[in-house]
Amino acid sequence: MSRPAAPTTLSAPAAPGERLVAIDVLRGVALLGILLVNMLAFSGPFGGNVVALSYWQGGADLAVEWAIMVFAEGAFYTMFSFLFGLGFGLQLSRAEARGENATPRFRRRLLVLLGFGLVHLLLIWFGDILTHYALIGLLLLAFRNALPRTLWRWALGILVLSTVIYLALGPLAAQQLAATDPAGLVQLYRDGNGAQILGERLELGFSIILSTPFLLPSLLWLFLLGLAAGKLTLFENLAAHAGLLRRARAIALPVALVCKAPFGWLLLARPGSGFTLALSTGLGGPALGIAYLTSLALLLSDPTWLARLRPLAAAGRMALSNYLAQSLVATLFFFGYGLGFYGRLGPATTILFTVGLFALQVVVSNLWLARFRFGPAEWLWRGLTYGRAQPWRRP
């Protein structure tokens, strides 16, 4: 998140950091996709209608919600998780090149990230992912010396375990989601005051922390895939690895279609299938995310497309700041201690809010990084990791 500006090609040798701008572009795209999904929960009841589109009654609202759940749900957290593991791999390779041990610094980074996650989870919004990343990310240290082939095998084995867990718990999850009371959520988040919402958030937050072991397989295998890609220096030269990217897409895309298509159809025709929900979330979403990731990576191997999408890199370099800002802005806009639009604006309207907010973040991120080395949260993260304030302004 603290790399300098990148050149317009990845096919020719470049300075370390400059040739990795594609990673920041991918992170920016993932940030937009995560906001698309999160906005459904920011803006209205998203518990019961995961399995049955019941709260929003307008045709346009139902169509937009259906599209997000089928084409975005589970896909973009996959991209973000892969890039998290990739970042660890890059840190390892850079430390080894300098003859340093990256383990202590990475551990400190995760502990600081855990602090960010706890503040976000307990004080801002229950949909936090940073806490899980920090806790589960510590397990990456056990794989720091593994070969890419070993990492692939571990990732495949953990993916099988993750899928089995999703399929086993899918019916139970469907029952719990279907039993969610939309009116109760509206009463709390739209009409409740700050103290009531905070109390609910604290109670829910601790249960989310305790759920980390159940999420461990679904995140760890993606972390390991990213770590393997980092060890292979896949993003050092995307054009040279185009064949590997195409093969990965050829595997992921059919799996995504097989898992997502029944979910999308049953969501409209016969809602309430816990099996299809689990299949979509546990396997279809990750497969679709890998298909998106590899397709975008192939696109970014073309210097022309890299130049076109380069503005997104600034948002990706400030991913932590932008992720936290999204939660702050959305909760203040929708919750009762802010403007109180929760449950009033359907997905057909809030998707415009999503696109507008992210576009603003892209503009602000580019303006900010023209003057500063890091985003504000990244600067604090880096300073706490190193134990001293980091130079902030650009010369």
Q: What is the dihedral of CA 343, 347, 348, 352, to 10 degrees?
A: 100
Q: Per residue in 75-129, pLDDT tens?
A: 999 999 999 999 998 888 788 778 888 889 999 999 999 999 999 999 999 999 9
C-beta separation of 155 from 163 below 8 A: no
Chain position carrying tokens 């990795």: 20
Return all residues near 360 (Cβ < 8 A) that are at least 6 apart. none
pTM of the model: 0.91
C-beta separation of 220 from 165 below 8 A: no
C-beta separation of 29 from 312 below 8 A: yes
Residue 13 has pLDDT above 70, yes or no: no
What integer is the mean pLDDT of 364-393? 95
Q: What is the DSSP letter of 121?
A: I
Residue 15 has pLDDT above 80, yes or no: no
Coil, helix or strand at residue 271 = coil
The pair of structure tokens assigned to 312 is 């997104």
Q: Per residue in 244-274, pLDDT tens?
A: 999 999 999 999 999 898 888 877 776 556 6
Q: How many CB atoms lie within 10 A of CB 246?
A: 12
The pair of structure tokens assigned to 84 is 């998290």
Q: Per residue in 149-204, pLDDT tens?
A: 999 999 999 999 998 888 887 777 666 666 667 778 888 899 888 899 998 888 88
Return all residues near 114 (Cβ < 8 A) that are at least 6 apart. 130, 131, 134, 135
Q: What is the DSSP letter of 91?
A: H
